[in-house]
Amino acid sequence: MTTTIKPDLEHNIVITSMTQNIWDDIRVRTALSLDRYKLGQLFEPTVFLLHQLIANSIKALHYNVFKQNIQSDFDLVDIAHEAEFNALFDSEISEHGDKNIAKFCKEYGLCVILSFPGTEDVIAVVSVPCFCGNAVKLSDKFIEALGYRLDIQKTAGQPDFCSAVLYRHGANPGAFKSPVLMSRRDKEASFLNIFSQLSYDIICFNRSGTIHAMSPSLLSQLELEESVASVELFAGTIPQHFYNDVIWGVATDSSQGKFENYRVRIKIGNADAASMLFNVSGFRDSHGMIHTLWQKIALDGKNSSGLSEGSIMNEAKVHNITRHYVPQLVERKAREVVRLGGHLLSEEECHIAILFCDIVDFTTYVEKNEKEESIIHTLNSILRRISLSVKKHGGFIDKFMGDCIMVLFRNPRAAVTAALEMQNHSTDINRLRRLANLDQLLLRIGIHWGKVAIGNVGTPERLDWTAIGDVVNTASRIEKNCLPDHVLISQSLRDAIEADGKPGFKCGETFNLVVKGKKNELTVCYVYPAD
């Protein structure tokens, strides 16, 4: 029997725009909700699921509200050309963001409500106006994979609203029992299942590298006949590095040789033929026979030619060296994509705060002081303190450009808080430099808020996954017009923060800038710590 869920009104999160500062609160409440069922391991995918539900609902809400307003303003019963309306909607969002639509929604009580009612087996509830009901329907595949169930129900006491109720799946009680230790028999049965389902195959090599025995199913994967001639053909395609690294490397090991996670590519046929990448592990037995376990690597049906051959351990060492050169946002996004079964960084559009921070007259300083002190050490000591503030307040360093740094913040208030903290660090550093009779190195910080596209820029050989758009250029112009030792922000950033409550810092008088590439003047103000 379906029950009607009434959200706990004391703990509702009312959402009219995706730019609201709500996600810290949502993460905390999601964690508390999951802790009741000892499901903390599902925290990140559950937050992602709620983000999808809310984002889809807000988009549908704004779309329908804008459509109703257009119909009312122009006295239209129906809009004949959907494409023309979509262009109007896109233009509104591009020029003004969603603040006008969100303001209308707030005035008329049109919103998305997220609640965590504490009802038995309920993780969370997302309530939306009934005309957005289809937006809260998601694919069952991801939901079932998490052990959840999503039901669409009427919202008690609110006839114009419906609710997407996210349940812990009660039909799977075994998932919440205490763990048990496997018997040897169960272990062997499970191993045989794994071996069969994951298409593992076996090849045994003798000391000289000749194939002694081979699973027929491996030949089938390569579309070869199950025959001795096919085994010989296969043996001729194994690259030399495999023999050097694995067969003879293992065979000459003084102890019982073992190796794991070695990738080797096999190509049968001419140069245009498709290749197949295998992951190989194995060991040498007491008689010198090398037993190897082969598994085909498949990436969602995509070509795996981008993966290198050789030991994955070596690849891990290379990654450990190069990971500090990869932007934080790229690595975090890549981990999220892989966790959710993807293989590519997809482009996205979102509202974001862009912060530029520059060391004033650093080029002149370098020319004057390159013999007196280590320029790289000085630069890194400043950037290190800046980076700590970025990380502390949830920002992502997009790139370093000499003595300038570009940072992205999802939370507009956090961007200003971090910027003021950076200036505090700068004050501390310059106090020490003054005592040492060294030149002052002041920071200049500019921040802007707006809609950007985040995506891949470059060529397949060298890509940047970065923010693109007028917001980025405008933020850079604001920074260039900022006074040394100050933080200058745009009016749009100030509006985004004040729409969500008191800013937590002081704003100076607003004034207008004429900036290169902008037809209209830009309204800005300086910000200062609240104390």
* Secondary structure, 3-state, 42-105: HHHHHHHHHHHHHHHHHHHHHHHHHHHHHHHHCCCCCCCCHHHHHHHHHHHHHHHCCHHHHHHH
Q: Which residue has the tokens 């050097």?
A: 244
For residues 229 and 95, what is the distance between their CA atoms, to the nearest angstrom?
Answer: 68
Q: Which residue has the tokens 């002190």?
A: 373
Output the CA–CA distances (angstroms, integers) from residue 512 to 111, 499, 515, 521, 526, in the order listed: 34, 21, 9, 6, 12
Q: How far apart are the two ends of the chain, measured CA to CA in Å? A: 57
> In this structure, are residues 478 and 419 in contact, taking their beta carbons and an 8 Å threshold?
no
Which domains does the chain possess? 9-175 (no CATH), 184-312 (3.30.450.20), 326-529 (3.30.70.1230)
| Predicted model pTM | 0.52
For residues 409 and 412, what is the distance between their CA atoms, to the nearest angstrom?
Answer: 6
Residue type present at position 142: F
- R_g over Cα of the chain: 30
Per-residue confidence in pLDDT tens, the chain, 531 aa: 344 444 443 578 999 988 787 888 898 899 999 998 888 888 888 988 898 899 889 988 988 888 887 777 665 555 555 666 777 777 777 676 777 888 888 888 899 999 998 888 899 999 999 888 888 887 677 888 888 989 988 877 778 889 999 998 654 444 456 678 889 999 989 988 888 788 789 999 988 889 999 999 888 888 889 999 999 999 988 988 888 887 777 655 545 678 888 888 888 876 666 678 898 988 888 888 889 999 888 654 444 555 666 655 555 555 555 555 556 666 666 666 655 555 666 667 778 899 999 998 888 888 777 665 577 788 888 888 888 899 899 888 888 888 899 999 988 999 999 999 999 999 888 888 888 888 888 999 999 998 888 776 766 666 666 778 888 989 999 999 999 999 999 999 998 888 777 778 889 999 998 877 777 888 999 999 887
DSSP state of 502: -
Q: What is the pLDDT of residue 294?
A: 92
The number of beta carbons lying within 10 Å of the beta carbon of residue 170 is 11
Q: Which helix (H) or strand (E) holds 492?
A: helix 491-498
Distance of CA 512 to the CA centre of its chain: 36
Q: What is the pLDDT of residue 194?
A: 86
Q: What is the pLDDT of residue 3?
A: 44
Q: Which residue has the tokens 């850079």?
A: 476
Distance of CA 459 to the CA centre of its chain: 21
Q: What is the pLDDT of residue 422?
A: 93
Q: Which residue has the tokens 């809310």?
A: 54
Give the 3-state secondary structure of 292-308.
Answer: EEEEECCECCECCCCCC
Output the CA–CA distances (angstroms, integers) from residue 481 to 132, 285, 422, 452, 477, in the order listed: 44, 72, 18, 22, 6
Residue type present at position 147: G
Q: What is the pLDDT of residue 307?
A: 61
Q: What is the pLDDT of residue 1?
A: 35
